[in-house]
Structure 1
Amino acid sequence: MKSIFLRNNLIYIRNKSMVFYSLFSVFISLIIYSLFIGRNIESNFSENPYGNIIAQQWLLGGILSITPITVSLSCFSIMVRDKYYGALDDFFIAPVKKYEISGGFILSSVVISLLMCIIQILLFIIIIAENPLDFFESTQFFKLLTALFISTLFGSSMSYFLSIFFKNPSTYGSANSLISTIIGFTNGVFLDLGSFPDSMLPIIKLLPTSHISVIFRNILLKPRISTVFDNTDSLLLRSFSENMGISFYIGNREISLMESLIYVFIWSSVFFMLSVIKGNKNDK
């Protein structure tokens, strides 16, 4: 496991195009934010001193929700390429347990995804944040780190499962682009969830990827918007939270942050188990 982990990390770091495209989503999101989304959100809070920070944290939450998935998909292009050139067969005939091989690939993806997320947070604060010292509250860091770990674990497990079905690197790359684009929309990165038809919202609420977006935005924005909407109707606060993807509701009950974290973790376990089952069938 350790050898595969170190090997994949070195391959990824030395591949400049992989690193570039892992960070590319930040710059695309920043452009869309600057031209469209940011102005609309900031205009709604033009008289509030926290208006700019709310808009910026909303965008960062969206970026962090897709990064663990896009980076993980990119990481597992290494495994697809190994499969294409026959290197993966050498791993499986070696005297190494299969779960150690799977664990090495997934652990490598988790570490790289975490690193890319941290770099993106730093880039975002440097480029966008007007007051970096006021961008985070001290109570948010532990929650943010927990969310980053669970989201990268999910992204790695899901990407590993998906990569099993591909044998050609070019086909896998095309699928990556399609998956990343779909997740970008369903996570409310390019459009807020209030812009979607009501018929789509129940489907979006079932997607673990959408819960990742809600998790990050809940952590980043909940303390701030609670202050902003302190003296207003609770229905207005709920409407804003739902439309902006800060909270999910089932009926009149808000899905808690812990419930969303558990939901994403369960899906991580499901994808990992499916990967092991599928991998064993392919070996027979």
Structure 2
Amino acid sequence: MLALLKRNFILYFRNRSGVFFSLLGALISFLLYIIFLQKNLTDSWSQLPNSTNLLNNWLMGGTLAVTGITTSFTALKQMVQDRENQVDQDLFLTDLGNWGLQASYLISSIVISFVMQMFMYAVMSFYFKESPVISHLPEIALIMLLSSLISSLVNVLLIYRFQSVDSLGKLATIVGTASGFLVGTYVPIGVLPDFAQIIMKCTPTTYIASLYRQVLMKEPLETTFTGNSGLLQEFQEKMGIQINWQELLTKEETYFIVVIISLVAILLWMLFVKVFSKRK
């Protein structure tokens, strides 16, 4: 298993252009905010003191969620490439067998996604001159792990039956473009029509972005909205800090949803591996 994991890590990080393009969705989200969205959002919430710091942390939460999606997707391309080149037939002959091989792809994707989220967090913190709150780092790491897990599981289910890297590239374009919209970094969820909001609420990483924002924005929210709970609730709902299902979900409820989705995705992945391995 360790040899397969090492192989997947080397193949991912050695391809520098691949690493760059795996971060492209997150970088687009980051750059669009800096160039266009930051001023518009700041003007929209100009009545708030220190709105720039507040919105910078909001952007960081969404961009980290996008990073989890796009980097795990790129890491899983190796599975399709091995299948296309029939390298997987040789790897099946190892002691690990099909289950071990499929697990190696999934674990590699999770680790790569986690590492790249840490990288993007460091880059954005440096750019915005945000000193991480030490007490928040363990929870941020936990959310990164959950983000890596759920993104990798959803992506592996999406691409499991792809047979060529070329056809997968078309899906990668869609995923990279859509991810910024689905986590609400391009357009906040609260200003979208009801139908679009429902689509976003059915996307697992929307809840990951919500968790990131609740942690990263905890102190700025408390400082900015002191004595103004009504405006705080409006801001949290419109900006997707807390997701509204009849009422705003608490952080604990959001964690619960993420864990349930992860467990369901694990069961589906196991079913996919079992069913399709029998057809080989």
Scaled by the length of structure 2, the TM-score of the pair is: 0.92
Partner of 1:244: 239
Query: 2-side partners of 1:192 and 1:85: how far apart?
Result: 42
Residue of structure 1 equivalent to 2:108: 108
Tell me the amino acid that sits aligned with residue 33 of structure 1.
Answer: Y
List per-residue Cα deviations over 1:92-151 (Å, max 9, x = no partner).
233324332222111111111111111111111222x1x333xx3233212111100011
After superposition, the C-alpha distances for 1:17-54 in whole angstroms (9 at most, x for unaligned) are: 11111232343123211232111222245565532211
The 10-residue stretch of structure 1 (220-229 or 91-100) with the greater mean CA deviation from structure 2: 91-100
C-alpha distance after superposition, 1:53-112 (max 9, x if no partner): 112111111100111110010001111000001011222233324332222111111111
Is the CA contact 1:67–1:117 (under 8 Å) kept in the aligned structure 2?
yes
What residue is the counterpart of 1:182 in the other structure?
178
Counterpart in the other structure of 2:276: 282
User: Corresponding residue for 2:254?
Assistant: 260
**Count of aligned residue pairs for this structure pair:** 278
Q: Which moved more, 1:45-54 or 1:237-246?
A: 45-54
Specify the code of the residue in structure 1 equivalent to 2:231.
L
CA apart distance, 1:178: 0.6
- Cα 1:84–1:180 change in 2 (3 A) is same
CA distance in 2, matches of 1:96, 1:30: 40
Partner amino acid, structure 2, of 1:171: S
Relative to structure 1, the CA distance from residue 90 to residue 266 in structure 2 (aligned partners, 3 Å threshold; closer, same or farther) is farther
CA distance in 1 between partners of 2:92 and 2:267 (Å) = 18
- Comparing 158-167 with 35-44, greater Cα deviation is found at 35-44
Once the two structures are overlaid, the 10-residue window that deviates more, 147-156 or 265-274, is 265-274
For 1:65-214, list aligned pairs within 5 A: 65-127=65-127, 129=128, 131-133=129-131, 136-214=132-210
Question: What's 1:223 paired with?
Answer: 219
| 1:213 Cα deviation after fit | 1.2
* CA distance in structure 1 between the aligned counterparts of 2:155 and 2:27, rounded to whole angstroms: 23
- Match of 1:173, SS state, is helix
Superposition RMSD in Å: 1.8
Structure-2 change in CA distance of 1:11 and 1:270 (3 Å) = same
Deviation at 1:266, TM superposition (A): 2.4
TM-score by length of 1: 0.91
Are the aligned partners of 1:222 and 1:246 in contact in 2 as well (CA < 8 Å)? no
